[in-house]
C-alpha cells in the first residue's frame, strides 16, 4: 500500500508551527477559569493547552494529537488524594499522637516510613506520567503506551538513586542514565518498543564540573573580593575598604550561585543530548540538539518574561518549553506506515495524578 517515508537529508522531522498569540487565546481564558474555580479547572486547562501544543507539532507529514481529557486528569488527582493523601494525613496524625504520648522513636519511625513511601511513589509517578502521555499522544491515529504499571520501576528508582548518591554523588550520572534507559525501554509506540542505551560515561565529564567548580569559583571569588577591597581602599581609605570588601563578598556569593546554576544547565544540556541520542524506536534514531547556550537563553528569557509581566508570563512557559523541545528534537530513519499498527497496550482510565501531586515533569 502506502510506501515508506525516507527522512534522510530532509528538513527536521519534528516541526512546531504554533503561534503565541493563538496560544494566548487559550491561556488567558484558562487562567480566568482556573481562578474562578479555585484551581479545579486546572486539569481542563492543562488538557486544552496540550491539545493546542500537540496539534501545532508536526512529525514528518502529520500533526500530533493530544487525546487526553481534563476529566481523567481530575480523576487521577482525586484518586491520588484518596489513595495517598488521606492515608498520609492519617499517618502523620498517628505519628504526632505517638510523640505526644511519649513514644518519640515510634512516631519518628512512622514519619520516616511515610517519607520512604513518598520516595517510592515518586519513582512510580515518573514512570506513569510518561506512560500516560504516550498513551494519549496520537499520530495518524496510532498511540503509544506501556503494559508495565511502573511499580517495579519505583523500586529501581529508589535503589539506583540511593546508590548514586552514596559515593559522594559520583554515581548520580549512572543512576540518571540507567533510570532513563529502564523507563524508556518499557515504553512503546504502536507495535514497537522504544530502546534506550544511554551511557553514563558520556555525561560524566560534565558532572565532574560540580566537584571542580566550587574551588575555581571560590578562588575567583576571593580574588574578586580582594580586588573589591583594594578598589574600595583606593576610593575611600579604611571605610572604603570595608564597603569594597562587603561588595566583593556579595559578588562572590552571586558568582557562586550563578556559577553552580550554569554548571547544572551545562550538565542537563549534555544529559539530554546523550539520553535522547541513545533512544531509538524501530528504525528511527532520535537526537536532541540544544546546546548549553540554548538552554541558558531559554531560562533567561523565561525569567525576564515572568519578571517583566509581573508573573503573568508564567502562563506562556509551557508554550516556550514545548516549542524548545520540539525545535531541538530530531529524528532520522524510516517508518513503514503499513507495519505501524495500533498499540495493544493497556491504558489507564485516569491521568497522571500521582505526578501532578508531586509536581514534577514527565520527561
Least Cβ distance, residue 190 to another protein (angstroms): 7
CB-based contacts of 347, cutoff 8 Å, min separation 6: 135, 143, 145
Asked whether position 226 contacts another protein by CB under 8 A, the answer is no
Asked whether position 117 contacts another protein by CB under 8 A, the answer is no
| Cβ atoms of residues 128 and 150 within 8 Å | yes
Least Cβ distance, residue 40 to another protein (angstroms): 9
Asked whether position 190 contacts another protein by CB under 8 A, the answer is yes
Asked whether position 20 contacts another protein by CB under 8 A, the answer is no
Asked whether position 141 contacts another protein by CB under 8 A, the answer is yes
C-alpha cell of residue 358: 508531586
User: Could you give the C-alpha distances from 256 to 130, 249, 260, 315, in angstroms and in order?
Assistant: 35, 10, 6, 30
Identify the residue among 342, 344, 360, 363 touching another protein (CB under 8 A). Answer: 342
- 249 CB neighbour count, 10 Å cutoff: 16
- How many residues can be counted in the chain? 363
Asked whether position 84 contacts another protein by CB under 8 A, the answer is no
Query: Comparing C-alpha atoms, which of 345, 190, 177 is closest to residue 276?
Result: 177
In whole angstroms, what is the distance from residue 139 CA to residue 14 CA?
12
Least Cβ distance, residue 210 to another protein (angstroms): 30
Each residue 50-79 as x (binds another protein by CB under 8 A) or -, in order, gives -x---x------xx-x-x--x---------
Residue 48 or residue 323: which is nearer to another protein going by CB?
48
Least Cβ distance, residue 161 to another protein (angstroms): 21
Asked whether position 300 contacts another protein by CB under 8 A, the answer is no
Q: What is the DSSP secondary-structure string of 267-293?
A: HHHHHHHHHHHTEEETTEEEEE---HH
Asked whether position 309 contacts another protein by CB under 8 A, the answer is no
Asked whether position 92 contacts another protein by CB under 8 A, the answer is yes
In the DSSP assignment, the letter for residue 337 is T
Identify the residue among 125, 179, 335, 355 touching another protein (CB under 8 A). Answer: 335
Q: What is the DSSP secondary-structure string of 24-84?
A: HHHHHHHHHHHHHTTTTTHHHHHHHHHHHHHHTEEETTEEEEE---HHHHHHHHHHHIIII
List residues binding another protein (CB under 8 A): 1-2, 17, 29, 32-33, 36-38, 41, 44, 48, 51, 55, 62-63, 65, 67, 70, 88-89, 92-93, 95-97, 99-104, 107-108, 111, 138-143, 190, 335, 337-342
Amino acid at each position: 500500500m502506502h510506501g515508506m517515508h525516507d527522512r534522510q537529508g530532509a528538513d527536521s522531522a519534528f516541526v512546531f508551527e504554533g503561534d503565541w498569540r493563538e496560544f494566548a487565546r487559550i491561556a488567558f481564558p484558562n487562567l480566568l477559569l482556573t481562578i474562578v474555580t479555585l484551581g479545579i479547572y486546572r486539569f481542563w486547562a492543562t488538557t486544552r493547552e496540550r491539545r493546542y501544543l500537540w496539534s501545532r507539532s508536526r512529525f514528518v507529514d502529520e500533526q500530533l494529537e493530544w487525546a487526553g481529557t481534563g476529566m481523567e486528569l481530575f480523576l487521577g488527582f482525586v484518586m491520588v488524594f484518596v489513595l495517598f493523601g488521606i492515608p498520609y494525613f492519617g499517618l502523620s496524625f498517628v505519628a504526632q499522637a505517638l510523640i505526644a504520648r511519649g513514644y518519640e522513636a515510634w512516631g519518628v519511625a512512622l514519619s520516616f516510613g511515610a517519607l520512604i513511601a513518598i520516595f517510592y511513589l515518586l519513582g512510580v509517578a515518573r514512570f506513569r506520567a510518561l506512560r500516560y502521555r504516550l498513551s494519549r499522544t496520537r499520530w495518524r491515529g496510532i498511540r503509544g503506551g506501556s503494559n508495565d504499571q511502573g511499580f517495579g520501576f519505583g523500586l529501581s528508582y529508589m535503589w539506583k538513586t540511593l546508590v548514586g548518591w552514596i559515593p559522594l554523588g559520583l554515581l548520580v550520572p549512572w543512576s540518571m542514565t540507567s533510570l532513563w534507559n529502564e523507563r524508556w525501554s518499557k515504553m512503546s509506540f504502536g507495535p514497537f518498543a522504544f530502546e534506550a542505551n544511554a551511557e553514563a560515561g558520556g555525561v560524566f565529564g560534565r558532572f565532574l564540573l560540580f566537584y571542580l567548580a566550587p574551588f575555581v569559583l571560590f578562588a575567583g571569588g576571593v580574588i574578586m573580593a580582594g580586588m573589591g577591597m583594594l578598589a574600595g581602599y583606593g576610593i575611600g581609605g579604611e571605610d572604603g575598604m570595608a564597603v569594597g570588601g562587603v561588595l566583593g563578598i556579595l559578588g562572590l556569593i552571586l558568582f557562586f550561585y550563578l556559577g553552580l546554576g550554569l554548571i547544572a544547565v551545562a550538565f542537563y544540556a549534555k544529559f539530554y543530548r546523550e539520553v535522547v541520542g541513545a533512544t531509538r524506536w524501530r528504525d528511527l534514531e532520535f537526537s536532541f540538539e540544544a546546546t548549553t547556550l540554548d538552554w541558558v537563553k531559554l531560562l533567561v528569557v523565561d525569567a525576564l518574561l515572568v519578571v517583566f509581566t509581573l508573573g503573568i508570563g508564567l502562563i506562556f512557559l509551557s508554550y516556550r518549553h514545548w516549542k524548545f523541545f520540539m525545535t531541538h528534537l530530531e529524528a532520522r530513519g524510516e517508518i513503514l506506515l503499513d507495519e505501524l499498527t495500533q498499540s495493544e497496550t493497556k491504558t489507564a482510565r485516569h491521568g497522571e495524578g500521582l505526578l501532578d501531586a508531586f509536581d514534577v515533569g514527565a520527561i
